[in-house]
Amino acid sequence: MANHKSAKSRIVRNNKRALINGARRSRVRTFVKKVEAAIAAGDKEQANAAFKTAESELMRAVRKGVFKLNTAARKVSRLSQKIKALQ
């Protein structure tokens, strides 16, 4: 257990950040699942629309420090490949 005032406040702050980051990560996962569902349904137009929002959410998560840039870029790249394979 923390003994210093600063350490106690750090615990509170870390817990708040963990909740916020978890919500952001969950939001990104939701948008990615929407893209994957559209791909599974074979609907290229809907997949492209969902992909645009998912890509922006991923990059926003990168700016907020939830994901690293390479992780987000890899996810975007793989989703893009799947959409292109729908021809």
Please, what is the average pLDDT of the chain?
95
Count of domains forming the chain: 1
Residue 68 DSSP label? -
**Interval 19-54: pLDDT, tens:** 999 999 999 999 999 999 999 999 999 999 999 999
- Of the chain, the percentage scoring pLDDT greater than 70 comes to 100
Give the residue numbers spanning the domain of 73. 5-84
CATH number of the domain enclosing 13? 1.20.58.110
What is the structure's pLDDT at 66?
A: 95
**Interval 66-81: pLDDT, tens:** 999 999 999 999 999 9
Residue 45 DSSP label? H
- Of the chain, the percentage scoring pLDDT greater than 90 comes to 94
**Is the pLDDT confidence value at 87 over 80?**
no
* pTM, rounded to two decimals: 0.85
Distance (Å, rounded) from C-alpha 47 to C-alpha 15? 35
Q: Residue 51, CB half-sphere, CA atoms under 13 Å: how many?
A: 20
End-to-end distance of the chain based on CA atoms, in angstroms? Answer: 58
